Amino acid sequence: MSSIRILSDRVANQIAAGEVIERPAAVVKELVENSLDAGATRIEVEFRTGGRAYIRVEDNGAGMDRDDAQLALERHATSKIAEAADLDRLHTFGFRGEALPSIASVSRFELQTRAAGAEVGTELLVNGGRLVHVRDCGRPVGTRVVVAQLFNSVPARRKFLKSDATESAHIIHCVRLYALACPQAAFTLIEDERTIFRSPECTTTADRVAEIFGRQIAESLLPVEFAEAGLRLWGLIGRPGVGRATRHEMITFVNHRPVDSRTLSYALIESYHDAVPKGRYPLAFLFLDLDPAAVDVNVHPAKREVRFRHEVQVRALVIRAVLRCLRDSGAAAMAGPAAGGPPAGAAGPGAWAAQPAGMPPMPESRIAAPFPAFRPAVPPESLAAPAVTSAPPAAFTVTATGPEGVGRSPAGWRWLGLAHGTYALFETEAGLVLLDRRAAHERVWYERLREQFAAGRVGVQRLLLPVPIELDAIATALLLDRLEFLGRHGFEIVEFGRHFFRVEGVPEWMEPADAEPFLRDLLGALREGRLAAHDLDVARDELARLAAARAIRMPAGAGEAELLALAGQLFTCRQPLTSPAGRPTCVEFSHGELARRFQK
Ligand code: ADP
Ligand code: MG
């Protein structure tokens, strides 16, 4: 007797659901795509408890007659393609015909639909893949799908879901993507009876961005438009200098489909090489339109990834278009004195001082103590390179641990100059030391701030002109949760209207102009689950880490006195050899090493 058998449709659907429907947001994605494919101009999405308990998507699209509605629940039933070659002419989001049966196989699925011209609507109820009933129902033309008890029958899948807040953030992000992709449709998103956003039909993408991401972000964007050899790139990109700590606002579409494309995102990051600081991401709402035959969307069941037939050409187009747009905006800014703020990195006169006023001095005990037996986590590549030592520079350990040298200049160090504006070179008794200015500065500030935070001594500067800040729904919720924590650490922020906040005071160590970018970074960190609410120490540490990168900067013209003082302060730190991000702050070349290098 044969042991091979064909799986029942119900089992096959449940297996397919594993790929197509990985989390509640995937249900929302598939249903919203179907509504848009059906030509809807009004789409309402409602969900509860992160989508686990309840998801409703309702549209005013074409609807289905009874036969079609029943067929739609069969595997591989689609009205969108008939043969493989149709993929090359694809103008719809869907084509695989597996979303509805997959969703219905892992939930309690109710579909109500009515086609134009039909007398009554049809209602279908399926539970865990089994049809419960088909009957008439009254409803306007269009379709309404309610998905309840998602994954109830698949405990393994349920276990993998994250907190309601996380699942809800994914749903919100997903609906926003489609709202951006199709500004001509009106979108409403409701969570637990609270309206997250309601965006009427918009004539342009820029209007839609302003609607759901806020006017403030919309105003920091530049329009981009470029066409070449059958490719068209258009949309909105961040002005130079406007960077983000995460990729959440780097959003790309191919033929209006929201996609994660490495080609597009790398090209974007590369184009912004000089326009946003290293390690930060540009802001972009970028649309690429091209012949459907030149792109494969059938790489992954969820269709989030795409493959370009002419990858190199696409990449080059993005880089050219973005660079040109950034360059033109730069030229415009130079021409008009009103445009743009102070240049990045500029600090107020005297803002940076070797030991800023109001800073608590380093505790005595630490000054007197010799270097703690601290060994930094040395990156493997520096172990392999013998020139880089992982111990504190020898000259400093010997001569500068007494109270004399510390906090001022390390005894016996002679400043030789600054290379590439970044590396301070010192001659020491033991050889040469190269100090990375920025890494050292961040380390000093990080430890200072941690001490201040722990001691609850955070000086606040009240702002003469409070800084308004507009956030989206997710960021608003996150910020509201942390207002008190931030208040205790120097940020006086008040809510003044839906999604609007006013920063009235910032910590003394911060440039007021940095308040907004800093808060946006902070919200990025919150979104990624850092600054966890339950552990105050961890949250403080993370705050200090973010803050150190933003603390009042050394002026570009800092010279001998400032850099010697910085070296002095660095070596009173608990962990002087690495930046808060774990990069080395200095490297030493000993006499022996130099002699070996020169084969003496
Ligand atoms: P696909 O979208 O890949 O065709 P689905 O399983 O998502 O597959 O949907 C199956 C079919 O059901 C679609 O091809 C479409 O004809 C019909 N359908 C689904 N949702 C709607 C809707 N909201 N309005 C009208 N028709 C719909
Ligand atoms: Mg579909």
Per-residue pLDDT tens for 317-357? 999 999 999 888 866 655 543 333 333 333 333 333 333 33
Mean pLDDT, rounded, for 61-67: 96
Tell me, in angstroms, the distance from the centre of ligand 1 to residue 35's CA.
Answer: 8
Tell me, in angstroms, the distance from the centre of ligand 2 to residue 60's CA.
Answer: 16
Question: What residues have CB less than 8 Å from 99, skipping those under 6 apart?
Answer: 20, 21, 30, 31, 33, 34
Helix axes 24-37, 164-181, angle to 10 degrees: 20
Q: Which ligand has its closest atom nearest to the C-alpha of 57?
A: 1
Classify residue 163 as exposed, middle or buried by CB count within 10 Å of its CB (0-12, 13-18, 19+).
exposed
Q: Which ligand has its closest atom nearest to the C-alpha of 33?
A: 2
Tell me, in angstroms, the distance from the centre of ligand 1 to residue 107's CA.
Answer: 17
Ligand 1 atom at shortest distance from the alpha carbon of 59: 23
Q: In this predicted structure, what is the pLDDT of residue 532?
A: 64
Tell me, in angstroms, the distance from the centre of ligand 2 to residue 30's CA.
Answer: 5
Burial letters 579-599, b for 16+ CB under 10 A, else e:
bbeeebbbbbbbeebeeeeee
Mean pLDDT, rounded, for 467-476: 85
Ligand 1 atom at shortest distance from the alpha carbon of 30: 7
Report the distance separating Cα 500 and Cα 518, nearest Å. Answer: 16
- Candidates 58, 78, 124, 143: which one to mutate for ligand 1, based on the most atoms within 8 Å of Cβ? 78
Ligand 1 atom at shortest distance from the alpha carbon of 100: 6
- 361-408 pLDDT, tens digit per residue, is 333 333 222 222 222 333 333 333 333 334 455 444 433 333 333 344
Mean pLDDT, rounded, for 250-274: 92
The one-letter amino acid at 244: R
Ligand 1 atom at shortest distance from the alpha carbon of 57: 23
Q: In this predicted structure, what is the pLDDT of residue 372?
A: 28
Ligand 1 atom at shortest distance from the alpha carbon of 98: 6
- 78-89 pLDDT, tens digit per residue, is 888 888 888 888
Q: In this predicted structure, what is the pLDDT of residue 408?
A: 45
Tell me, in angstroms, the distance from the centre of ligand 1 to residue 571's CA.
Answer: 66
Report the distance separating Cα 181 and Cα 200, nearest Å. Answer: 14
Tell me, in angstroms, the distance from the centre of ligand 2 to residue 361's CA.
Answer: 64
Is residue 295 within 8 A of residue 255, CB to CB? The reply is yes
Q: Which ligand has its closest atom nearest to the C-alpha of 61?
A: 1
Mean pLDDT, rounded, for 296-304: 78
Query: What SS3 class is residue 80?
Result: coil
Ligand 1 atom at shortest distance from the alpha carbon of 143: 23
CA distances from residue 579 to 84, 246, 440, 450, 571 in whole angstroms, order as listed: 55, 20, 6, 14, 12
Query: What DSSP element (H or E) covers 322?
Result: helix 311-335
Question: How many angstroms from the chain centroid is the CA of residue 114?
Answer: 40
Tell me, in angstroms, the distance from the centre of ligand 1 to residue 465's CA.
Answer: 53
Tell me, in angstroms, the distance from the centre of ligand 1 to residue 105's CA.
Answer: 16
CA distances from residue 588 to 156, 385, 387, 435, 539 in whole angstroms, order as listed: 54, 12, 7, 9, 34
Nearest CA to ligand 1 atom 21: 34
Residue 238 has pLDDT above 80, yes or no: yes
Highest-pLDDT range among 48-62, 400-414, 430-444? 48-62
- Candidates 59, 76, 93, 100: which one to mutate for ligand 1, based on the most atoms within 8 Å of Cβ? 100
Ligand 1 atom at shortest distance from the alpha carbon of 102: 6
Structure token digits, residue 368: 């007197």
Nearest CA to ligand 1 atom 7: 99
Query: What SS3 class is residue 503?
Result: strand
Residue 26 CB neighbour total at 10 angstroms: 24
Tell me, in angstroms, the distance from the centre of ligand 1 to residue 253's CA.
Answer: 21
- Candidates 34, 78, 90, 126: which one to mutate for ligand 1, based on the most atoms within 8 Å of Cβ? 34
Is residue 412 within 8 A of residue 395, CB to CB? The reply is yes
CA distances from residue 394 to 7, 242, 411 in whole angstroms, order as listed: 71, 41, 12
Question: What residues have CB less than 8 Å from 429, skipping those under 6 apart?
Answer: 394, 395, 398, 399, 412
- 136-191 pLDDT, tens digit per residue, is 999 999 999 999 999 988 877 788 888 888 888 899 999 999 999 999 999 999 99
Nearest CA to ligand 1 atom 17: 72
Structure token digits, residue 578: 């690495």
Ligand 1 site residues, Cβ closer than 6 angstroms: 30, 34-35, 38, 59, 61-64, 72, 77-80, 94-100, 143
Confidence of residue 131 (pLDDT cuts 50, 70, 90): very high
- Candidates 31, 33, 37, 93: which one to mutate for ligand 1, based on the most atoms within 8 Å of Cβ? 37
Is residue 89 within 8 A of residue 61, CB to CB? The reply is no
Residue 73 has pLDDT above 50, yes or no: yes
Query: pTM (2 decimals)?
Result: 0.67
Tell me, in angstroms, the distance from the centre of ligand 1 to residue 128's CA.
Answer: 19
Of the CA atoms within 13 Å of residue 467, those in its CB half-sphere come to 22
Strands 142-148 and 414-419: unpaired
